[in-house]
Amino acid sequence: MSKPAILTVDDDPMVSAAISRDLRRRYGDDYFVVKATSGDQALAVLTKLALRNQPIALIATDQRMPGMTGIELLERARDQAPTAKYLLLTAYADTDVAIKAINDIGLDYYLLKPWDPPEDQLFPVVDDLLGDWRQANPEHTSDVRVIGNRWSDRAHDIKTFLARNHVPYRWYDVERDAEGQRLRELASASDVDLPLVLVPEGDALRSPSTVDLASALGLRTRAEQPLYDVCIVGGGPAGLAAAVYAASEGLSTVIVEREAPGGQAGMSAAIENYLGFPRGLTGSDLAARAVAQASRFGAEMVLARSVVGLESRGPVHAVLLEGSGEIEARSLIVSTGVSYRTLDVEGLADLTGRGVYYGATASEASQCQGEEVYVVGAANSAGQAALNLARYAKRVVLLVRGDTLVTSMSRYLVDKISAARNIEVRCRTQVVGCRGDGHLEALTLRTFEQSEEVPASWLFVFAGASPRTEWLGDSVVRDERGFIVTGPDLVLSGVWPLARPPFALETSLPGVFAAGDVRLDSMKRVASAVGEGAMSVYLVHRYLATF
Count of CB atoms situated within 10 Å of the CB of 18: 17
pLDDT, position 363: 67
Q: Where are the alpha helices (DSSP H) in 88-152?
A: 95-104, 118-121, 123-136
At residue 113, the pLDDT reads: 85
In a domain, 274, yes or no: yes
**Do residue 325 and residue 409 come from a single domain?**
no
List the chain residues with pLDDT less than 50: 1
Same-domain pairing of 13 and 116: yes
Q: For residue 188, give the amino acid letter.
A: S
In contact, 174 and 227? CB cutoff 8 Å: no
Q: How far apart are CA 406 and CA 85, in angstroms?
A: 34
Q: How far apart are CA 287 and CA 526, in angstroms?
A: 11
Distances 113 to 88, 170, 389 between C-alpha atoms, Å = 10, 42, 39
Residues 362 and 545: their CA atoms lie apart, in Å, by: 43
**Residue 94, pLDDT score:** 80
> Rounded CA gap, 412 and 232, in Å?
33
328 and 235 together in one domain: yes
| Beta-bridge mates of residue 253 | 230
Domain identity same for 277 and 179: no
In terms of C-beta density within 10 A (0-12 exposed, 13-18 middle, 19 or more buried), how is residue 186 classed? Answer: exposed
Q: What's the CA angle centered on 248, arms 244 and 252, to 5 degrees?
A: 90
What pLDDT score does 409 carry? 93
369 and 480 assigned to the same domain: no
CA dist., res. 125 & res. 369, Å (int) = 34
Same domain, 27 and 118: yes
Concatenating the DSSP letter of every residue in 265-285 gives GGG-S-B-SSTT-TT-B-HHH
**Quick one: 354 and 290 in the same domain?**
no
Flag whether 224 is in a domain: no
Domain range enclosing 189: 144-216
Residues with Cβ within 8 Å of 123's Cβ and at least 6 positions away in sequence, in order, are 22, 26
pLDDT score at 142: 60
Q: Residue 335 in contact with residue 533, Cβ under 8 Å?
A: yes
pLDDT tens for each residue of 295-352: 999 999 999 999 999 999 999 999 999 988 999 999 999 999 998 888 989 889 999 9
SS3 (DSSP) at 141: coil
Domain contains 344: no
Task: Look up the CATH number of the domain holding residue 398.
Answer: 3.50.50.60
The amino acid at 436: G
Residue 244 lies in a domain: yes
Closest CA to 483 of 442, 524, 446: 524
- Identify whether residues 114 and 48 lie together within a single domain: yes
Helices 153-164 and 283-296: crossing angle in degrees, nearest 10, is 60
Cβ–Cβ < 8 Å for 209, 221: no
Q: How far is CA 333 from the centre of its chain?
A: 21
Q: Which of 437, 461, 485 is the last residue before a domain boundary?
A: 461
Rounded Cα distance, 385 and 381, in Å: 6
Is residue 170 within 8 Å of 198, Cβ to Cβ? Answer: no
541 contacts: CB under 8 Å, gap ≥ 6: 249, 251
Residues 158 and 254 in one domain: no
**Measured distance CA(99)–CA(287) in Å, rounded:** 25
Dihedral angle sign, alpha carbons of residues 235, 238, 239, 245: positive
CATH number at residue 122: 3.40.50.2300
Its sign, for the CA torsion 273, 279, 282, 288, is negative
Q: Compute CA distances 109 → 100, 103, 277, whole Å.
A: 11, 11, 10
| DSSP state letters, 308-364 | EEEEEETTEEEEEESSS-EEEESSEEE---EEPPPP--TTTGGGBTTTEEES--GGG
- How high is the pLDDT of residue 346? 87
Instruction: Please say which residue of 401, 436, 461 terminates a domain.
Output: 461
127 shares its domain with 11: yes
Cβ neighbors of 430 (< 8 A, separation 6 or more) are 399, 401, 445, 446, 447
pTM: 0.81
CB 424, CB 418: distance < 8 Å: no
> What pLDDT is stored for residue 273 in this prediction?
84
Last residue of a domain, one of 120, 136, 152: 136
Whether the CB-CB separation of 298 and 250 falls below 8 Å is answered with: no
Are both 132 and 11 inside the same structural domain?
Answer: yes
DSSP state of 117: S
Distance of CA 544 to the CA centre of its chain: 33
- Kindly give, in sequence order, each residue whose CB lies less than 8 Å from that of residue 246, ignoring residues fewer than 6 positions away: 229, 230, 232, 253, 299, 537, 540
Under a CB-based contact definition with an 8 Å cutoff, are residues 349 and 435 in contact? no
User: Does residue 223 lie in a domain region?
Assistant: no
How far apart, in whole angstroms, are the C-alpha atoms of residue 334 and residue 476?
Answer: 11
Which CATH number belongs to the domain containing residue 176 in this structure?
3.40.30.10
179 and 120 fall within a common domain: no
Tally of structural domains, the chain:
4
